[in-house]
Amino acid sequence: MADKIFRVNMSDLTTSIEDVPESWAGHGGRGLTSTIVAAEVEPTCHPLGPNNKLVIAPGLLSGTIAANSGRLSIGAKSPLTGTIKESNAGGTAAQLLARAGCKAIIIEGLPKENTWYSLALTPESITINEETELIGKGNFTVLETLADRLEDKPAILTIGQAGEMKMCSANISIKDPDGNLRSSGRGGLGAVMGSKKIKFITIDPKGGKVEIADSEKFKEANRVFAKALIDHPISQGLGQYGTNVLVNIINESGGLPTRNFTQGQFDGHEAISGETMHDVILERDGKVKHNCHAGCVIQCSQIYNDTKKEKLTAGFEYESIWAMGADCCVDNLDQIAEADRIMDDIGIDTIETSVAMGVAMEGGVLEFGDGAGVLRILQEEVSKGTGLGRIIGNGAGSVGRAYGLTRVPVVKNQAIPAYDPRAIKGIGITYATSTQGADHTMGYTITANILGVGGNVDPLTKEGQIQLSRDLQIATAAIDSTGMCLFIAFAALDNEECLPALVDLLNARFGIGLTMDDVIALGQSILKTERGFNIKAGFTAADDRLPDFFYSEPLPPHNVVFDFTDEEMATFWDF
Quick: pLDDT tens for 304-339.
999 999 999 999 999 999 999 999 999 999 999 999
Give the chain's mean pLDDT: 97
Residue 357 in domain: yes
Full DSSP string of 173-223:
EEE-TTS-EEEE-TTSHHHHHHHTTEEEEEE--TT-----S-HHHHHHHHH
Full DSSP string of 339-357:
HHHHHHHHTB-HHHHHHHH
- Overall number of domains in the chain: 3
Task: Reply yes or no on whether the pLDDT at 293 is more than 90.
Answer: no
The answer on 251 and 235 residing in a single domain is no
Q: Is the distance from CB of 466 to CB of 183 less than 8 angstroms?
A: no
Residue 208 in domain: no
Task: Reply yes or no on whether the pLDDT at 154 is more than 90.
Answer: yes
The confidence score (pLDDT) of residue 92 equals 95
Tell me the mean pLDDT in the region 449-468: 97
Residue 44 in domain: yes
The answer on 246 and 226 residing in a single domain is no
The answer on 344 and 453 residing in a single domain is no
Query: What CATH number does residue 258 fall under?
Result: 1.10.569.10
The answer on 544 and 573 residing in a single domain is yes
The confidence score (pLDDT) of residue 1 equals 60
The confidence score (pLDDT) of residue 437 equals 97
Task: Reply yes or no on whether the pLDDT at 292 is more than 90.
Answer: no
Residue 396 in domain: yes
Query: What CATH number does residue 436 fall under?
Result: 1.10.599.10
The answer on 278 and 235 residing in a single domain is no
2 class by beta-carbon count within 10 Å (0-12 exposed, 13-18 middle, 19+ buried):
exposed
Query: Could you read off the pLDDT of 193-248 as tens digits, one per residue?
Result: 999 999 999 999 999 999 999 999 999 999 999 999 999 999 999 999 999 999 99
Alpha-carbon distance 382 to 231, whole Å? 43
The answer on 387 and 250 residing in a single domain is yes
Task: Reply yes or no on whether the pLDDT at 472 is more than 80.
Answer: yes
Q: Which of 420, 397, 419 is nearest to 410 (CA)?
A: 397
Alpha-carbon distance 527 to 176, whole Å? 29
Query: What CATH number does residue 142 fall under?
Result: 3.60.9.10
The answer on 170 and 33 residing in a single domain is yes
The answer on 221 and 154 residing in a single domain is no
pLDDT confidence band for 547 (50 / 70 / 90) = very high
The answer on 66 and 197 residing in a single domain is yes
Residue 565 in domain: yes
Domain boundary at 420, 455, 474, which? 420
Alpha-carbon distance 242 to 321, whole Å? 11
Domain boundary at 420, 441, 464, which? 420
The answer on 296 and 266 residing in a single domain is yes
Task: Reply yes or no on whether the pLDDT at 86 is more than 80.
Answer: yes
Alpha-carbon torsion 241, 242, 248, 252, what sign? positive
Residue 111 in domain: yes
The answer on 401 and 545 residing in a single domain is no
Query: Could you read off the pLDDT of 70-79 as tens digits, one per residue?
Result: 999 999 999 9
Alpha helices in 284-364 (DSSP H): 318-324, 333-346, 350-362
Model pTM score: 0.97
Alpha-carbon distance 397 to 187, whole Å? 12
Structural domain span for residue 501: 214-241+423-575
Alpha-carbon distance 273 to 245, whole Å? 6
Domain boundary at 173, 203, 233, which? 203
The answer on 178 and 139 residing in a single domain is yes
Q: Is the distance from CB of 199 to CB of 159 less than 8 angstroms?
A: yes
Tell me the mean pLDDT in the region 332-354: 98
Residue 148 in domain: yes
Residue 209 in domain: no
